Structure formats: structure tokens, C-alpha cells
Amino acid sequence: MPIRDALVDIVGVDRVSNDPAELFIYSRDSGAQPPGRADFVVLPKTAEEISAILRLANREKIPVTPVGAGLTLSGIVVPERGGIVLDMKRMDRILEVDELNRYVVIEAGVSQGALQAYLKKHHPRFQHSTPEAPPTATVTANALIHGHGHISPRYGINSDMIAGMEVVLPSGEIARIGACALKGKWFSRGPLPDLAGLFVGWYGTTGIVTRISLKLFPKPGFRQVIVFKTDDIDLLPEAIAEIMYLDMAEDFFLIMQEKPDWMNHAFLVVILSGHFEEELEFKKTAYKRLFSDFKGGECISFVSDLHPALEKRFLDVPPLAALAADFRKGGGFQYTGAILPVDQVPAAWRKGIEISHRYGMVCSYVHQVLMGNSIMFGFNYSFNRADEADIEKARMALEESNRATLDLGGMIWKGEKSAQKMVLAKMEPNTAALIRRVQEFLDPNRIMNPGKWEV
Ligand SMILES: Cc1cc2nc3c(=O)[nH]c(=O)nc-3n(C[C@H](O)[C@H](O)[C@H](O)COP(=O)(O)OP(=O)(O)OC[C@H]3O[C@@H](n4cnc5c(N)ncnc54)[C@H](O)[C@@H]3O)c2cc1C
């Protein structure tokens, strides 16, 4: 039977397409990476449908690439070898919110915006960790790529918040991970062997996650932003350590942009929150005096005249920090996320400016501090989508930033294909061999998002 007919048998005619206009969209993402080729787009609604699709794909040796909203921008949803793109967005049900046990179970296509709006309306005392990505980004893909959200500095990255999963293995078998595997509540993934690690960080090469449980966190009623500024980049690691040591920040990010001139400083933006006004007031006072005696005073200043428009932007959930980025004519934008130890911030900062200038760009930065031991250091580059030479420049700038990240002892987050190759080349050989063995074991026909994490 032709593949299209077999797919129509599984999901129905309305949820399969091989229309060239639609395949065009699904063969690329909106970053700077080259497009691939999709043969079919399928929008499944259930784990059972995905199971049938994967059995078919295995029989026919057809690649399968899952996509949430495709907003990682680094080409990791681009189908490199044709085949089926599985668009998860029709799996959009919020299945359970358990306030007492503090978790939410959702299907894999639920967007950040939908979950945020649902919690605000029905469970206003709780929140999930929301990334600054556009609201159409899926909650599940974000957790699966080790994303980070507006409460990550306090509670950890979003993959830490996974409390359970349902996964369709490449063979088509459906498995559950965590307490839900014992037919219990979806409240915890330990103390069983932690099988979540087989699917987190793998870019869909080991299975399709169909449901996920995420921890929920209290949502304090009062929030405030405190901003510090410095021109001494070498002070940043210690300044970050001091802010994290006080241990009261809900969110904490660094921004800088070379233009306009008033933005050309290192700004340390700290979001404080509290259940009571007095609690917030106490935290504010503690932070305001944090740097008054630091290195004799004066070198890190408290910004007392923050413009109300900026204050609102920073206090939004998620904060709109990246709006300051240099979007040039043509609207292209991609950033490479370096996960760095905080002591490497000054060196990375200088390197990013050097790379931006070499490629004729204005440098702009947004970095989120993660729990105090690391930072998501964003090397941002914009380009004109209609100008192939400009896109190529952005690719080269990204590649240089990735190389610098590894040279500084950091890790590349959601890396492009070339970045994945760099990481694997630097990796301890037995670790790389283990990755290959896990993939071969779970996916012997290598149908799952082929070309990604290819050892
Ligand atoms: C302006 C801007 C700001 C951003 N800010 C942040 C931020 O603050 N924090 C942050 O973490 N990210 C941020 N991002 C990056 C990115 O947009 C988010 O991480 C986003 O949540 C990714 O979700 P997605 O649905 O777009 O994933 P996709 O790009 O669709 O997928 C990511 C990967 O997961 C795989 N995948 C998707 N669904 C499944 C599934 N169900 N099972 C198995 N594999 C699957 C895909 O094949 C792909 O390899 C930002 C992006 C932009 C453009």
C-alpha cells in the first residue's frame, strides 16, 4: 500500500499532508540552518496512532522527525533524510492538575501559552517554569531539550522538573516512566532507575514523548525587579555568586546591548517575589545593600531610575529581555546557548563581542543564571533571511561561538548539526560509544530524527 494511504488509514485524511506548500514549511525552521526535505506531515492525536506510525516507519525504513513548535532555531527539527514529520500540536490536552501533590500532566503538544493561561484561570496559586520563547513553543519539547524558564534560577532547569512521562519507543511500544509506570499518581520519577534520561537531550532520536508530568511551584502574589549595572566585566562571576548566595532571587539574568549607548553596560536583573508585601520589602532591602561595600563600593551600582516600560518588560512572565536584540532588516535571528561555569563569563563576554564585530553585527546579550553553578550564555546573531551571504555569516558566527564555548570548558545547548559534531569529537570516546549503543538498541533501523547526535 502506498505510504500516504497507510498514514491516512492510521490518522484519517485530514491529518496527513504531502502538499508541497506544507512540506516546504516543515522542511526548515526559522533559524540560519539549511533546510532539509519532508515527504509527509502527520498530526497524530494519540499515543496509539504514533505507535502505528512508528511500526509502519520501521517496516518501510522511513525516517520520523518529531516537531513541537520548531522554535529551537538550530535545525534540530529539520528532517535531513526525508520521511515523516510528526507535528505534535494536535496532542493539546491538559489532562490533570494535582494541587496537593503539585504536578500537572499534559499531552506533548500543549503550548507554553495554553498551559500558562489554564493555570492562571483555574489554579492561580501555582505556576510552571516558563521560557522566554514565543508562547506557541511546546512545554514538552522545552523540558526535553533541557530548557530553562523564569523560575529556573530558583528551582532548576526544566528537565529537572519532569515528574513522569509516557513514551512511544521506536518499536511502537508504549512505556511509562516514574511513579505513573506503577499505575500511581504522576508525582515523581524517582526512586526507580531514571529512564527519563533515555529521552531528555536526545532530540527525538530515541522515542516520542506523548505525555509529560511537570512539577508545579507556588506563585507569589508580589513581584519586584532590582537592577544593578557595571562596566567591569571581570567582576561578573563574583557579583553573580553574591546575588545567588543571598538565595532569594526568583529569576536572574544579565543583559547588554552595544546600541543605544545607555544599554552598553552589563545589567544584572534580579526578579524578587513574595507572598506578602513585607517579605518582598525585606528582600528588596537586602539586595539593594548587597554591593554597597563590594570591592570598596561604586563598581557595581544600583539602578534607581529604571524606566517604567523596562520595569514592566522585565516583570512580565516570562520577562521580555530578548526584545532588545539587534533584529536587522530581514528578521532572521538565531542564538547559540552556551551552558558555562560562571567563572568563564568574562572570557565568553569578550569573545562574543569580538565575533559579533568580525561579522559586522552589533553585540547583544541575554544570559540566564541557572541555580548559581552555571549560566545559559546566549550568543545572539541576527541576519537578513533574503540574503544568503548574510545567513552564511550568521552560521559562521554561531560556529565560532560554539567552538569558543567548548574551549572555555562549557557545553553547547540545543546545538546545530555542526555543534553536535564538535561535541561528539571532544567527548570521551567511551561516552560517545555509549550514546551510539543506546541509539542502536532502541532504534536499530535508525529511523528516529536521523542525522542528529550521529556518532
Ligand atoms: C526569542 C526566543 C527566546 C527563547 N527563550 C528561551 C528561554 O528562555 N528558555 C528556553 O529554554 N528556550 C528558549 N528559546 C528556545 C526555544 O524556543 C524553546 O526552548 C522552546 O520551548 C522549544 O520548544 P519547541 O516546541 O519549539 O521545540 P522544537 O524545536 O519543536 O523541538 C525541540 C527538539 O525536541 C524534539 N521533540 C519535539 N517534540 C518531541 C516529543 N514529543 N518527543 C520527542 N522529541 C520531541 C524535536 O525533534 C527537536 O529535536 C527561545 C527561543 C526564541 C526564539
Helix 47-60 with 3-11: angle, nearest 10 deg = 170
Sequence-ordered list of residues with C-beta below 8 angstroms from that of 4, at least 6 positions apart, any chain: 16, 18, 40
Which grid coordinates belong to 425? 569529537
What superfamily in CATH does domain 322-415 come from?
FAD-linked oxidases, C-terminal domain (3.40.462.10)
Which grid coordinates belong to 200? 531528555
Check if the beta carbon of residue 247 is closer than 8 Å to that of residue 241. no
- 108 touches ligand 1 (CB under 6 Å): yes
Rounded CA separation 255/164 (Å):
34
DSSP states along 344-367: GHHHHHHHHHHHHHHTT---EEEE
- 324 touches ligand 1 (CB under 6 Å): no
Ligand 1 atom closest to the Cα of residue 144 is 34
DSSP secondary structure letter of residue 266: E
Atom 2 of ligand 1, residue of closest alpha carbon: 133
- 106 touches ligand 1 (CB under 6 Å): no
Ligand 1 atom closest to the Cα of residue 203 is 49
How many residues belong to the chain?
455
Sequence-ordered list of residues with C-beta below 8 angstroms from that of 8, at least 6 positions apart, any chain: 16
- 274 touches ligand 1 (CB under 6 Å): no
* 60 CA to centre of own chain: 33
Q: Where are the domains of the chain?
A: 3-87, 94-218, 222-315, 322-415
What is the 180 CA–ligand 1 centroid distance (Å)?
25
- 213 touches ligand 1 (CB under 6 Å): no
What is the 142 CA–ligand 1 centroid distance (Å)?
5
User: In this structure, which amino acid lies at residue 347?
Assistant: A
Rounded CA separation 316/131 (Å):
12
Per-residue pLDDT at 324 = 52
- 145 touches ligand 1 (CB under 6 Å): yes
What is the 67 CA–ligand 1 centroid distance (Å)?
9
Rounded CA separation 224/215 (Å):
24
The pick from 132, 165, 439 for probing ligand 1's pocket by mutation, whose C-beta has the most ligand atoms within 8 angstroms, reads: 132
369 pairs with which residues across the strands?
375
- Residue 88 has a CB neighbour count (10 Å cut-off) of 25
User: In this structure, which amino acid lies at residue 417?
Assistant: K
Check if the beta carbon of residue 187 is closer than 8 Å to that of residue 101. yes
- State how beta strands 16-17 and 40-42 pair: antiparallel
pLDDT of 295-317, one tens digit each? 887 899 999 998 888 898 899 99
- 88 touches ligand 1 (CB under 6 Å): yes
What is the 202 CA–ligand 1 centroid distance (Å)?
13
The pick from 33, 77, 152 for probing ligand 1's pocket by mutation, whose C-beta has the most ligand atoms within 8 angstroms, reads: 77
What is the 280 CA–ligand 1 centroid distance (Å)?
33
Per-residue pLDDT at 330 = 81
The secondary element (H helix, E strand) that includes residue 112 is helix 112-122
**CATH number attached to the domain at 3-87:** 3.30.43.10
Per-residue pLDDT at 88 = 98
Sequence-ordered list of residues with C-beta below 8 angstroms from that of 106, at least 6 positions apart, any chain: 93, 94, 95, 115, 139, 140, 211, 212, 214
Which grid coordinates belong to 316? 512580565
**CATH number attached to the domain at 94-218:** 3.30.465.10
Per-residue pLDDT at 35 = 96
In which residue ranges of the chain is pLDDT below 70? 323-327
- 203 touches ligand 1 (CB under 6 Å): yes
- 144 touches ligand 1 (CB under 6 Å): yes
- The verdict on domain 222-315 having CATH code 3.90.660 is no
Check if the beta carbon of residue 108 is closer than 8 Å to that of residue 97. no
What is the 138 CA–ligand 1 centroid distance (Å)?
7
Query: CB burial class (10 A; 0-12, 13-18, 19+) of residue 18?
Result: middle
- 376 touches ligand 1 (CB under 6 Å): no
Rounded CA separation 401/386 (Å):
23
- 109 touches ligand 1 (CB under 6 Å): no
What is the 303 CA–ligand 1 centroid distance (Å)?
33
Per-residue pLDDT at 272 = 97
The share of the chain scoring above pLDDT 70, in percent, equals 99
DSSP secondary structure letter of residue 35: P
* 156 CA to centre of own chain: 13
- 209 touches ligand 1 (CB under 6 Å): yes
Rounded CA separation 127/139 (Å):
13
- 170 touches ligand 1 (CB under 6 Å): no
Q: Is residue 191 reached through a cis peptide bond, with omega within 30 degrees of 0 on the bond before it?
A: yes
Rounded CA separation 46/48 (Å):
5
Check if the beta carbon of residue 390 is closer than 8 Å to that of residue 330. yes
Rounded CA separation 77/29 (Å):
7
What is the 73 CA–ligand 1 centroid distance (Å)?
8
What is the 64 CA–ligand 1 centroid distance (Å)?
17
